[in-house]
């Protein structure tokens, strides 16, 4: 990771299109005549969480790469006129079987992804999603089989209760608020280091610079509970996963504390003919050392 926090920032201009009534921010890399590959980001993550080096590696392997800000994050339109119920209320309602009304769903976000293809005039694309983006990509691959050429689900899960769900210590860290001696930035850095990769350490300085650079691009704290609500109310995707007919690759770290590896195992179990690739020492991030291998795996799954 670059010490200046700019690993995800490129010289490419950020462009905007309308999809499903939302202005979506996106960037492209490579030749538009090459097969399209769309990178779908995770919870509260802007498009810059996909390193430029990774985008370039995918271009070298023959793809036209598109990365974008999901709805309610980054430079894409916010949904500030809709509030999400508190996490406690969501959990209580789910426990008692009471329907939970949320600002938007993962299905809406999958529709946004396909809408991006529509507006760009792309008949189909390969999808690569990480974390929440993997969930979105799974839904899109199942519901829009004619529009998705291949699926790569990274550090994600199936939605099955008890699979790929964080432990108590991780939840405490994810919900942690700054103490009197800490700032929001301090807690963000601490959290990213907590869920990071033990075998691929990154300095606090580099993580801090990344968080600062991302927050300067766009502040997105208010969107976090809304995207959490979309995840928590999505239910399991077992039935949908069984309908995925495109080549599917599951990439996951054995040391992922945010989405434990059981989520990957369950996802692979329910997608017909899915390929599962586990990495020792990998947590919930994209270490620079592994980017070439990730790109090779994605290209192989896509038939490149």
What's the CA gap between 120 and 223, in Å, rounded? Answer: 26
Residue 280 banded pLDDT, cuts 50, 70, 90: very high
Q: Are 294 and 251 in contact (CB under 8 A)?
A: yes
The percentage of the chain sitting over the pLDDT mark of 70, rounded to a whole number, equals 94
Phi, psi dihedrals of residue 127, rounded to the nearest 5°: -115, 135
Q: Are strands 248-253 and 148-154 parallel, antiparallel or unpaired?
A: parallel
Q: Are strands 15-19 and 22-29 parallel, antiparallel or unpaired?
A: antiparallel
Give residue 193's Cα distance to chain centre: 18
* pTM, entire model: 0.94
Q: Write the pLDDT tens digit of every residue in 102-146.
A: 899 999 999 999 999 999 999 999 999 999 999 999 999 999 999
Provide the token pair at 268: 């692979």
> Looking at residue 304, what is its pLDDT?
75
DSSP three-state, residue 25: strand
DSSP three-state, residue 64: strand
Provide the token pair at 191: 């959290």
Phi-psi region of 218 (alpha: psi -120 to 50; beta: other; left: phi over 0): beta
Q: Write the pLDDT tens digit of every residue in 181-231.
A: 889 899 999 999 999 999 999 999 999 998 998 888 997 677 888 998 999
Q: What value does the mean pLDDT take over residues 35-47? A: 97
- Which has the closest alpha carbon to 283: 176, 207, 181? 207
Q: What value does the mean pLDDT take over residues 155-165? A: 94
> Looking at residue 93, what is its pLDDT?
66
Residue 40 banded pLDDT, cuts 50, 70, 90: very high
Provide the token pair at 275: 């390929």
> Looking at residue 92, what is its pLDDT?
66
Phi, psi dihedrals of residue 136, rounded to the nearest 5°: -60, -45
Q: Are 250 and 274 in contact (CB under 8 A)?
A: yes
Residue-range domains of the chain with CATH: 15-301 (3.40.50.1820)
Residue 239: how many CB atoms within 10 A of its CB?
10
Q: Are strands 22-29 and 64-68 parallel, antiparallel or unpaired?
A: antiparallel
- Which has the closest alpha carbon to 43: 112, 135, 126, 111? 135
Residue 4 above 60 pLDDT?
A: no
């Amino acid at each position: 990771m670059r010490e200046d926090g700019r690993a995800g920032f490129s010289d490419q201009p950020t462009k905007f299109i309308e999809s499903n009534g939302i202005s979506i921010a996106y960037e492209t890399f490579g030749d538009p005549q090459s097969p399209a590959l769309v990178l779908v980001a995770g919870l509260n993550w802007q498009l810059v969480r996909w390193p430029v080096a990774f985008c370039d590696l995918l271009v070298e392997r023959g793809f036209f790469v598109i990365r974008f800000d999901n709805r309610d994050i980054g430079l894409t339109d916010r949904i500030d006129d809709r509030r999400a119920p508190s996490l406690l209320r969501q959990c209580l309602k789910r426990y008692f079987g009471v329907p939970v009304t949320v600002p938007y769903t993962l299905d809406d976000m999958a529709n946004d992804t396909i809408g991006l293809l529509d507006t760009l005039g792309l008949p189909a694309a390969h999808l690569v999603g990480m974390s929440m983006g993997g969930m979105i990509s799974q839904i899109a691959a199942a519901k829009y089989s004619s529009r998705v050429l291949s699926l790569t689900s990274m550090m994600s899960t199936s939605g099955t209760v008890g699979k790929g769900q964080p432990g108590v210590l991780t939840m405490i860290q994810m919900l942690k608020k700054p103490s009197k001696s800490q700032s929001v930035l301090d807690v963000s850095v601490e959290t990213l280091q907590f869920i990071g990769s033990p075998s691929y350490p990154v300095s606090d300085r580099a993580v801090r610079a990344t968080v600062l650079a991302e927050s300067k691009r766009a502040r997105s704290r208010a969107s976090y509970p809304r995207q959490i609500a979309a995840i928590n109310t999505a239910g399991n995707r077992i039935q949908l996963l069984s309908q995925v007919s495109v080549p599917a690759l599951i990439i996951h770290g054995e040391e992922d504390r945010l989405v434990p590896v059981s989520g990957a195992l369950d996802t692979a179990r329910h997608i017909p003919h899915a390929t599962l690739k586990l990495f020792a020492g990998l947590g919930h991030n994209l270490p620079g050392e592994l980017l070439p291998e990730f790109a090779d795996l994605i290209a192989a799954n896509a038939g490149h």
